[in-house]
Amino acid sequence: MESTILRTENLNAFFGDAHVLKDVSIEIPKNTITAIMGPSGCGKSTFIRCINRMHELTENAYSTGKIYINDEDIFSYNATLLRRSVGMVFQRPNPFNTMNIFENVIAGYTLNRYKLSKSEKEQLVEESLRKAVLWDEVKDNLHKKGTFLSGGQQQRLCIARSIAMKPSILLLDEPTSALDPISTAKIEELLLALKSNYTIVIVTHNMQQAGRISDDTAFFYMGELTEWDKTKTIFTNPKKVQTQNYITGRFG
Amino acid sequence: MLQQVHSNANIRSLNFREAAFRKTLSLSAILLIVLLISIFLTLLVSSLPSIQAIGLKFLYQKVWDPVANEFGALPFLAGTLMTSALAILISTPFALAIGLFLGEYYPRGWISGLIKNAVELLAGIPSVILGFWGIFTIVPIVRAIEMRVGAVPSGVGILAASIILAIMITPFSASLIRLVISMVPLHLKEAAYALGATRFEVVRFVIIPYIRSGMSAGILLALGRALGETMAVTMLIGNTQIIPKSIFDTGNTMASVIANEFTEATGKIYFSALIETGLVLFVVTTIINIIGVRIIKRFES
Amino acid sequence: MKKYFTFRDARNLIFKFLIILLTILSVIPLLAILAYIFKQGISVINWNFLTSLPKPVGEVGGGILNAIVGSLMIISVAALIAIPIGVTTGVYFAEQSRTRIYNLAHLAVDVLQGIPSIVIGIIIYIWVVKPFGTFTSLSGSIALAIMMLPSIIKSTEETLKMVPSSFKEAALSLGVPYYKTMISVIIPAGLSGILNGIILGIARVAGETAPLLFTAFGNPFLNTNILKPTASLPLVIFNYATSPYEDWHNLAWGASFILVVIILFLNILTKLAEKRWKVQF
């Protein structure tokens, strides 16, 4: 069994009185891609937002239960500092519009006042952009604002910005749902390449995408972790009725 | 994990800065509330000598004679009321016309931009310059009218002040009216047009009824503005302490009497009486403004 | 079916004509005022006018240097006071949820905006001039600062509410603390709009006379000390305009011309800035 990097025990999440995650216990192995799937409103976005403690930023939102990253209880850790070790990429690309491409990639460092020398910065920017498969397309325009980039390129910029922080876990919330098929394919490719250095948890609506890139799949239904297994197994031999129905398209 | 040592000191300073930021934000909001309350209290406390000495007579006594130590504010309460009411009367048709022009008839295009900019420009002209202009243009006109009518041809007076006041508040109420007109739902108007109504009929039977509350708020807020206007009125009202009996009389408003006499107010009661005038002005305009804003807020939702 | 021009159609046309007529009539005062100011003022403006001090009645020449410098001084200090408080309060309104204090403070801003400027003058006289024992430029600045606050607060609040929340989320997910997110990401993103509100506020108070009548008070001499009484453009206009001397009336027209040009310039600036800002998102 590969080592577990992320583990939740009886995770429950609430928005005020609304109970949106119920007793979720899961173990994510290191250097894998885990797909989080389920119909709308099942709690999958809430789940990954609990992992980097973004969930509690919403008013009246809170969670109970335990989450461990590398066996450290993340709730005993300062939340702001935790988020520097867990990266998140959102559904709509959101590069900072007051910064150029170069500054965007290292935004996590400059905003958090980490001192880097000029050569360290340049090295980090190139390394991150290469990993995000964006370097060749922007290397001559690093000091321009990213407004000329396409949606797919902007999203890869956001990925570069997240992995520049060298997180151990990368969380992605439907990162390709707003993109065209070609950009989607590019991002799926780069996620597969990133797997060797990062652990990836990706929320997706797209079953084919889960089938293409994920090692494991967790299926959520109405706030509960209904089923969680190797992707191949989930798709060919699901054990629960709800999973079966979702896969065969009974509901979306 | 990121190769940084997050010492406890780091975390403490982080938490401190977060808390300090939030506290500063709350503090500025509280400062605003305190400012407002202080303004009211200062006016109240400084009016006390006058309130104690004169009491309620202040509001209905007809004579304001600092030399004889008599302080009745009725002359300028009357003056304020007359000028503001007349100004509202004069300006409302024009404000409504502009509101309809920009909100209904020509909401887009170069004409719209031109008129909109012209109205905003008018709103930006300082009160003192309008008063100055009024001395040389409005006053002669009023004087001519007075000579025709057989009144004392002073030129300055209630009428002149009301006219300049009307010019000053028209842009304000026009933009408010335009705002509420633009909020009339399209489907209501289209339903009327589909039944064969003319534009005038849509205005009369759909738009005007719909914006009634918004319009009254607009007039209320314009009234609030008019009550507090100082400079242009001071320059055109004649500055006499009589109760004006007609629009051709000279007079004073609460704001103009303060502007004229404040720096020369010797004597504790005199000084306090002027401040009491300011207190009345403050209370009345504040109440009007709060009501007006409430109506607008309710209209928007 | 033949189409007749009915009474209703006639009424419709007459009404439209009436609306257009009244609108044009409303614009006429503006044109008249601008034309008058231009005609009277342009003949007075020359280098001497802008750089010399007023002369006693009867003597030729004289200028409004004291007023120009005074206005600059009073307004810059007012901006220095109003901007930090205004922007901070605007951030509060944009970020905070509706609590008791929020609602009260919001009400306070609305009330503050409606207070007659002469009343503000009275207040600052009592709070600042009396304790200091003298009229001061500083007291004038404080009065103008209070009048600038609602404009700055409102535009900061509106601007920041329009900044997409995705920027905040992105920054927070990178482990940027909340306070740094606001200061280094959100406020810079809304800077154009905030600046707009500041310029608007300045344009509004540049022409205010009433709050300065018993605070800055005026000064026939050049003054750069904020603890002394100071001249300003609106004040000299008022004093010269209400005087019986034609020489001084001419000075007032020149000063009016300058003041209107400055306010016009500031308003055009905000229009241009508004266009640039609206494109960003």
* Same domain flag for B107 and B156: yes
Instruction: Check if C208 contacts B (Cβ < 8 Å).
Output: yes
Contacts of B6 in chain A (CB under 8 A): 78, 81
Give how far B228 is from chain C: nearest CA, Å: 5
User: Which has the closest alpha carbon to C264: C201, C208, C203, C199?
Assistant: C203
Does the residue B2 lie in any domain?
A: no
Specify whether the CB–CB gap between A43 and A64 falls below 8 A.
no
CATH superfamily name and code, C49-280: MetI-like (1.10.3720.10)
**Helix, strand counts (H, E) of chain C:** 14, 0
Distances (CA, A) of B140 to B125, B153, B159, C36, C267: 21, 9, 12, 15, 32
Q: How far apart are CA A80 and CA A100, in angstroms?
A: 24
pLDDT at residue C57, rounded to an integer:
74
pLDDT at residue C15, rounded to an integer:
92
* Same domain flag for B89 and B201: yes
pLDDT at residue B2, rounded to an integer:
41
pLDDT tens column, C138-165: 999 999 999 999 999 999 999 999 999 9
User: DSSP 3-state assignment of A20?
Assistant: strand
Pick the residue of A94, A100, A170 with the most C CBs within 10 A to test the interface with C by mutation: A94
Confidence band (pLDDT; 50, 70, 90) for C208? very high
Confidence band (pLDDT; 50, 70, 90) for C262? very high
Nearest to A80 among B2, B3, B14 (CB): B14
In the A/B pair of chains, how many CB contacts fall below 8 A?
20
pLDDT at residue A235, rounded to an integer:
86
- Do B11 and A81 count as a contact with CB atoms less than 8 A apart? yes
| Residue ranges of C 242-271 with Cβ closer than 8 A to chain B | 242, 252-253, 256, 259-260, 263-264, 267
pLDDT of B36 > 90? The answer is yes
* DSSP secondary structure string for all residues of A91-120: SS----TTSBHHHHHTHHHHHTT----HHH
pLDDT of B1 > 50? The answer is no
* Sequence-separated (6 or more) residues with CB below 8 Å from residue A83: A52, A53, A54, C172, C173, C174, C175
Nearest to B2 among A78, A80, A85 (CB): A85
| Residue ranges of B 10-39 with Cβ closer than 8 A to chain A | 11, 14-15, 18
pLDDT at residue C278, rounded to an integer:
58
Hey, how many other C-beta atoms are within 10 angstroms of the C-beta on C133? Answer: 7
User: DSSP 3-state assignment of B220?
Assistant: helix
Contacts of C115 in chain B (CB under 8 A): 39, 228, 282, 285-286
Q: How far apart are CA C32 and CA B114, in angstroms?
A: 16
Compute the average pLDDT of residues C268-274. Answer: 84
pLDDT at residue B69, rounded to an integer:
79
pLDDT of C58 > 80? The answer is no
pLDDT of C27 > 80? The answer is yes
> Which fold is adopted by the domain A4-94+169-247?
Rossmann fold (3.40.50)
Contacts of A166 in chain C (CB under 8 A): none
Shortest CA distance from C190: residue in chain A:
A98
Does the residue B63 lie in any domain?
A: yes
Distances (CA, A) of B29 to B34, B43, C129: 9, 22, 26
Specify whether the CB–CB gap between A8 and A73 falls below 8 A.
no
Domain count, chain B: 2
Compute the average pLDDT of residues C169-176. Answer: 95
Hey, how many other C-beta atoms are within 10 angstroms of the C-beta on B177? Answer: 26
Compute the average pLDDT of residues C105-126. Answer: 95
* Same domain flag for B33 and B105: no
* Same domain flag for B149 and B30: no
| C92: its two tokens | 């509060």
Nearest to C175 among A59, A80, A158 (CB): A80
Contacts of B288 in chain C (CB under 8 A): 114
* DSSP secondary structure string for all residues of A172-240: EESTTTTS-HHHHHHHHHHHHHHTTTSEEEEE-S-HHHHHHH-SEEEEEETTEEEEEEEHHHHHHS--S
What is the C-alpha R_g of chain C? 24
* Sequence-separated (6 or more) residues with CB below 8 Å from residue C271: none
C49 against B278, higher pLDDT: B278
pLDDT at residue C8, rounded to an integer:
87
Does the residue B283 lie in any domain?
A: yes
pLDDT of C228 > 90? The answer is yes
Instruction: Spell out, as residue ranges, where chain A has pLDDT lower than 50.
Output: 1
Compute the average pLDDT of residues B196-222. Answer: 89
Query: Which region holds residue C201: left if phi is over 0, alpha if psi is between -120 and 50, else beta?
Result: alpha
Instruction: Check if C16 contacts B (Cβ < 8 Å).
Output: yes
Q: Which residue has the tokens 């003298």?
A: C134
- Do A81 and B14 count as a contact with CB atoms less than 8 A apart? yes
User: DSSP 3-state assignment of B92?
Assistant: helix
Contacts of A78 in chain B (CB under 8 A): 6, 11, 14-15
Specify whether the CB–CB gap between A211 and A231 falls below 8 A.
yes
* Sequence-separated (6 or more) residues with CB below 8 Å from residue A123: none
User: Which has the closest alpha carbon to B49: B288, B297, B270, B291?
Assistant: B270
| C204: its two tokens | 């509004």
pLDDT of C281 > 50? The answer is no
pLDDT of B264 > 90? The answer is no
Task: Enter the pTM of the model.
Answer: 0.90
Q: Which domain holds residue B193?
A: 59-300
- Do A165 and B2 count as a contact with CB atoms less than 8 A apart? yes
Question: Strand pairing of B64-65 and A18-29?
Answer: unpaired
pLDDT tens column, A107-147: 999 999 898 999 999 999 999 999 999 999 999 999 999 88
* Same domain flag for B165 and B153: yes
- Within C125-177, where are the H helices? 130-132, 137-162, 165-173
CATH of residue B235: 1.10.3720.10
- Do B1 and A85 count as a contact with CB atoms less than 8 A apart? yes
Contacts of C171 in chain A (CB under 8 A): 96, 107, 111
- Do C175 and A112 count as a contact with CB atoms less than 8 A apart? yes
Q: How far apart are CA A41 and CA A26, in angstroms?
A: 19
| B98: its two tokens | 């502009």
Does the residue B147 lie in any domain?
A: yes
* Same domain flag for B148 and B292: yes
Instruction: Check if A114 contacts B (Cβ < 8 Å).
Output: yes
Compute the average pLDDT of residues B158-176. Answer: 93
Compute the average pLDDT of residues B132-149. Answer: 92
Specify whether the CB–CB gap between C112 and C150 falls below 8 A.
yes
Instruction: Check if B9 contacts A (Cβ < 8 Å).
Output: no
Calculate the average pLDDT of chain C. 91
Calculate the average pLDDT of chain B. 90
* Same domain flag for B86 and B233: yes
Q: How far apart are CA C74 and CA C202, in angstroms?
A: 11
Q: How far apart are CA B212 and CA B218, in angstroms?
A: 10
| Residue ranges of C 68-87 with Cβ closer than 8 A to chain B | 85
pLDDT tens column, B45-102: 999 998 888 888 888 888 888 888 788 889 989 999 999 999 999 999 999 999 999 9
Pick the residue of C163, C167, C173, C187 with the most A CBs within 10 A to test the interface with A by mutation: C173
| C14: its two tokens | 């007459």
A61 phi and psi angles, rounded to 5 deg: -100, 140
* Same domain flag for B281 and B156: yes
* Same domain flag for B256 and B134: yes
Hey, how many other C-beta atoms are within 10 angstroms of the C-beta on B85? Answer: 13
Q: Which residues of C140-170 are buried (b: 16+ CB within 10 A; e: fewer)?
A: bbbbbbbbbbbbbbbbbbbbbeebeebbbbb
- Do C115 and B282 count as a contact with CB atoms less than 8 A apart? yes
Specify whether the CB–CB gap between C251 and C233 falls below 8 A.
no
